[in-house]
Structure 1
Amino acid sequence: MRVLSYFNTALKITAQYDGKMPLQHYLKQYFAANKKHGSRDRKQITHACYCYYRLGRALPNQPAEERLKASLFMCNSEPAEWAALFNTDWIDNWRADIDKRIAFVALQFEEFNIGDLFQFGQALSAAGDVTAFTVAHLIQPDLFIRVRPGFEAAVKQRLAAQSIAYADYGAGCIGLPNATKTEGLFAINREAVVQDYSSQRVADFFALVPRKPQLKVWDCCAASGGKSILAKDTLGNIDLTVTDIRPSIISNLRRRFAEAGIAEYNAAVADLSKTLQADLLNTNYDLIICDAPCSGSGTWGRTPEQLCFFESSRVDEYAALQKRIVSNAVTRLSANGYFLYITCSVFERENEQVAGFIEQQCGLALVKKELLPGYDKKADSMFAALFRRPL
């Protein structure tokens, strides 16, 4: 029975996986070494592995077989081919409503506690709904794209022509089923960018920055450059500088900017955890975007292995790094300039506490701060806080 083979292979993989590399990369290596698995096999085995880790640290005393079955039951709205693994009682109680599936699992296992799925609830930002955020980890997030100005009608026409269902959230934000193949639907980065719903909401903070004929903008932890492209599309004519600690990232960013049609910008490799070099970034900026390195806890719906392998002590390490980066970056902020602090974390120590540090230790005035929850839209969750340097 093929489904039993999927099940047993997933058990084998999860028994061997140690969390030292992203699960996505581990699975890629596993399938490269085990070429007997066809495309459908790989898809189903991958799905089962991800379901397993969506259970987090719940049901710790149950055998791996029972944990995997419970996770498949809770993570799938209908049995489909997994039905062959379950007895009649489970099949009869398989409901589309996820809360009912969770309740049924709780009846089967006295030790089951939904709070064990995400064990860091006490560290969540105050504005977060712990229960809703926790349950959302059992659901595969959607794929989100942001259609760039001038291309919305064309992209939507192509989606309709391919009979691809999508959710339109306005302002060019489109939600697609996670497995959607985007090849041929749009020119990547030129017509549309892959960017999560909450990440796109950062545009609301850009809108609070007063316009100038040409704002000087520094994206100081630029990574793939998504926030820079968003700033270009939102703020118009900007004098853009991008930096990152990793040379390979800057190289990839240059390729992405070329695809996006962004030709005029400055780029450099910079370690902002250390004092800035005198000859680097020897100017001040009207807007500094600091999408700081973080735990990524708001994105664990996409990387659920973190629910099992992340150590809480790392939150303090990230918070200390964030404060060092911020302290160095704000030295390049103009008088009356704006500083935008962003994380894809849901932890208060990385969010509100660092925002408090920026106010108290860096002397900036808070304009707006907000946890950007995505768990009600099958999206990531983020935090953003905008500050202004007084004249």
Structure 2
Amino acid sequence: MATNVQHNFAHRYLQYAAEIIEAYDGKVPLHYFIKQSFAKQKKFGSRDRKAISQVVYSYYRVSNALRQMSLQQALPLALLLTTTPSPLWESVVPVAWHNIWQGTPIEKWNWAQQHFTLNASIFPHSNYVSTALDVAAFNLSHLQQPDVFIRIRNIANTQRIIQQLTDHNITFEVLDNCIRLPQQTAVDTMLAIDKDVVIQDWSSQQVASMFALVRSNITQKKQPITWWDCCAASGGKSIAAYDYFGKQLQLTATDVRSSILHNLKNRFSTAGINIAKTFVHNAATPSLPFHEKFEVVLADVPCSGSGTWGRTPEQLYFSEEASIEQYQQLQRNIANNVVSNVKQGGFLLYVTCSVFSAENEQNVQYLLATHQNLTLVEQKYFSGYHHKADTLFAALMQKL
């Protein structure tokens, strides 16, 4: 039962959360905007900030469905749909809703659809979502924040890392060499990030299953494997490739942003990858800075990020349909350019963190039609919606 103090705090939190939502225009990441807002309001302590942030994020998780509601109506319903019963929110979630509040996500969503005028989908642009996915399950997955996942770089260190987590009283689940952790776990305070473990979503880790297909199709098993990560960003998949292939991998990493490459060099150094070549390059431009041919070109292309919007739920409200076609064209430009740098017999590994077929299957079909010497080895979605994880797409093509 909520106390009078909790009642007062809860209503105050909703009021300030509404002020943040009304002021936010989606032009900067939500977490950054919230941080800026709190910097202007010194009166809030850490517990206050956490509660207010929860309301804001709860709203954006279901904001696409609640567009027709006022914030006064929407915020209690958002808390019902995205949280479990707690004394703090008892006074703002109507008593008549408390029984359904204890239900499963699908029970609560079905109840809300019956009792309110909602948009049919939590996820926007649902007509673009690939039919290869369970669209209903993917839609409902946005009611919950995804978990944190780490990848153990050397399986021999598994027991030591498990012991470290145990010593810090962290609840965790071991999934092969992947470990699931509760949301907001301060992993960097207890483990050697990039040296012993990599913070990497479960689905992103599963993309490494494509590496086995590369190895099985390479004829010269003991020769160096030349690898170009043409849109390197944080470099997580290249670190995974290095961990899989070992020193046999000769890594080149490029990105259009010099700041990203600066951080990437530091990350590679921490990870013990001293053989990498890195330089600034825009893979979307037709002029290439070298004529080298690679066994593997990894094109982890810029995309809508729609498979990761569970982590950035403001995109469920602010994303624009027109951007899907814009990303599709950018992705085709990049893939078309880098195909020429794949050796005969080598591979193009095309990856996105999108669920839109326009960025995935349609682009693969386009590439196969445009480049007759490419053949599809495998394409698949790594669906994270049953694992509280992201959803990614990967396609491995071989150049004959």
More displaced 10-residue stretch of structure 1: 180-189 or 64-73: 180-189
1:20-39 map, 5 Å: 20-39=27-46
Distance 2:330 2:182 in 1: 35
Of residues 163, 169, 173 in structure 1, which corresponds to 2:175?
169
1:48 to 55, 67, 71: 55
Distance in 2, matches of 1:30 and 1:361, equals 49
Query: Is 1:288 paired with 2:297?
Result: yes
Question: Is 2:375 the partner of 1:365?
Answer: yes
Per the alignment, residue 315 of structure 1 pairs with 324
- Tell me how far 1:97 sits from its aligned partner: 1.3
TM-score w.r.t. the length of structure 2 is: 0.94
1:44 CA drift (Å): 1.1
Letter in 2 for 1:294: C
Q: Which runs of 5+ in 2 are unaligned?
A: 1-7, 216-220
Q: Who is 2:203 aligned against?
A: 198
Residues 147, 389 of structure 2: 8 Å contact kept:
yes
User: Secondary structure at the residue paired with 2:359?
Assistant: coil
- When structure 1 is superposed on structure 2, of 182-191 and 228-237 the one drifting more is 182-191
Distance 2:120 2:93 in 1: 21
Deviation string, structure 1 residues 53-86 (Cα, Å, up to 9, x no partner): 1113213332111111111100012234111112
Looking at structure 2, the residues matched to 276 and 166 of structure 1 have their Cα atoms a distance apart, in angstroms, of: 47
Aligned to 2:147: 142
SS at match of 1:287: strand
Q: 1:185-210, CA deviations, whole angstroms, 9 ceiling, x for partnerless residues?
A: 21010000100000000110011112
Query: Aligned runs of 1:192-231 on 2, under 5 Å?
Result: 192-210=197-215, 211-231=221-241
Match of 2:71 in 1: 64
Q: Deviations over 1:286-343 (max 9, x none)?
A: 0111100000000000011111111111100000000000011111110000110000
Partner residue of 1:352 out of 361, 379, 382: 361
The one-letter code sitting in structure 2 at the alignment partner of 1:314 is S
TM-score by length of 1: 0.96
Residue equivalent to 1:89: 96
Q: Cα offset for 1:29?
A: 1.3
- 8 Å CA contact retained: 1:78, 1:96: no
In 1: Cα distance, 2:197 partner to 2:120 partner? 37
1:155 aligns with 2:161: yes
Aligned pairs for 1:335-346 within 5 A: 335-346=344-355
Structure 2 CA distance, aligned partners of 1:96 and 1:59? 20
Whether contact under 8 Å (2:124, 2:317) holds in the other structure is no
Cα distance in structure 1, aligned partners of 2:222 and 2:202: 27
| CA drift at 1:113 | 4.2
The reply on whether 1:334 has 2:366 as its aligned counterpart is no
Q: CA deviation at 1:369?
A: 0.1
What is the rounded CA distance, in whole Å, between the counterparts of 1:121 and 1:60 in structure 2?
Answer: 16
Report SS of the residue matched to 2:42: coil
CA apart distance, 1:87: 2.6
Residue equivalent to 1:8: 15
Paired residue for 1:376, among 386, 392, 397?
386
SS of 1:371's equivalent?
strand
Report if the CA contact (8 A) 2:384-2:391 is conserved. Answer: yes
Q: Counterparts of 2:387 and 2:222 in 1: how far apart (Å)?
A: 34
Asked if 1:256 is matched to 2:267, the reply is yes
User: Match for residue 244 of structure 1?
Assistant: 255
User: Compared with structure 1, are the counterparts of its residues 180 and 204 closer, same or farther at alpha carbon in structure 2 (3 Å cutoff)?
Assistant: same
Helix, strand or coil for the counterpart of 1:368?
strand
Structure 1 gaps, min length 5: none
209-218 vs 9-18, greater mean Cα deviation: 209-218
State the alpha-carbon separation in 1 of the partners of residues 228 and 236 from structure 2.
13
Judge which range, 341-350 or 175-184, deviates more: 175-184
